[in-house]
Each structure stands twice: as structure tokens, then as C-alpha cells.
Structure 1
Amino acid sequence: MTQEPLSYLYKEALAEYHLEHSPPTTEKPERSLFSRTRDRISANTQGLNHLPLLEAITLEAETLADALSSFELRGQITQLTEGLRRDRLHRRRVALQEQIRRAERAGDQTLVQQLIREYNESQEK
């Protein structure tokens, strides 16, 4: 089953981002995320189909970044990062709600309590 192209690129870029920021695997911090992601997906036959899209996204991102001052660029990055964080948190909370419902239907009160704690902790983030 093939993934939707943007979904595939997002997952690969996210995986590469986390690899780059893990101290034991950081080898070339001067390379951009787009460059590292390109290398990552080039190594996978499914990824080769998505290279043109990644290159178009890279060019568009560089064009937009060049048009902004460093202050504006930092603001945009902060805004986008915060939006992604909120979206990830929302998806996590929805998943926890579903897990709580399933645990309740199964009668697993220990799991229900654990999931409720996780859900409440996610509100604090």
C-alpha cells in the first residue's frame, strides 16, 4: 500500500529531524533538513517517486525564506512549530480518548486510570 506523497515526506522529514537532534547520531549539523531528507528518501525505492515533490517544496521554502528578514523568519518558524505542536497534542488527546473508551468497554479499570492520567498530563503541556 502506497502512502499519500505529502504524508510520506512528512514522516520521513520528521524521522530525519529527530535523528539529527539526537546527540549520538549528529554527524553533519551544517546540512539542511531538506538535504538530509532527500538523502534518506533517495535510499528507498518508494522515496524516489517523491523526490520531485520534495525538491519543489525545498525550492518554495527557500524562496519564501529569502524574502523574509531573519526576525520575520524566526517568527514564522515559531508560529509553524507551535501549530505543529498543537496539532500533535490534539491528535494524541483524541487517540487517548478512544483508548479510554476501549478500556472502559473492556472493563480494564487499571488501564482506564493510567490513560486518564496521561490525558490530564497532556492538558498541562
Structure 2
Amino acid sequence: MEVEGKTLKELLNNLISKINDNIKFSGNSENFSTKFEVKGKNMEEAIERFSKKIIDYYQKKKAIFEELEIEIVPGKKWILKCSLKGKTYENIDVKIKALKIVKLEETIEGWKLSFSVE
């Protein structure tokens, strides 16, 4: 699978949308919001940890995210400070157990992320 974005923020929003496309949900819903931070030695590791956290929310909280605000802090450790809003559902079918980054590259048009799912 692949996602693209002109910026890293857009790329991460598109990643969440792509994951949402692979999840079925039904039943009553309630608004849900959360904030968290992930760190990685590079951007790939930070994105992988971000996706693990998102998948955990799908599986444990039955949450689907609709809005993402993110601050990216580059440095010795890349930090992604995330604020997410969405809904929790009674029933959710998560087919994705994990996401593995195959390649993250910067192109003339922006960023491209290739990944596989388990």
C-alpha cells in the first residue's frame, strides 16, 4: 500500500484515511478525542510507532479518527505530538494488526510512504 502527501502532516492524515478504509464499524457512536506523543530515532520509526498507537486505539477503544492535528519536532529523536478527534463505535472490525514501513521517501511533489499490513 502507498500514501502520498505534499507535507509530512498531509501524509499522516492520508495514512489514517487509508487505514480507516480497511475498517468496518457499526452501531451507536460517541465523540472521542485523545492526545499522545511518539518518538523515533528517525521519521520512519516515529511513523511506525504512530501507526502502532493508532491501531491500538482501533482495537482497544473501537475508535475511528476523523481529525488529526500534529506537530513534528525533528532532532536527535523525531517527536510526533498528536491530537486526534473521532468517534468510538459499538462494533468495529479491524483487519489490520500491524503496519510495517517498507519505504519513506521525499519526492519533488512531497512525501511518499510505502507500507505493508498484517
TM-score bin, normalised by smaller chain: under 0.3
Q: TM-score, normalised to structure 2's length? A: 0.28
**Bigger proportion of residues as strand:** 2
Q: TM-score, normalised to structure 1's length? A: 0.27
**Bigger proportion of residues as helix:** 1
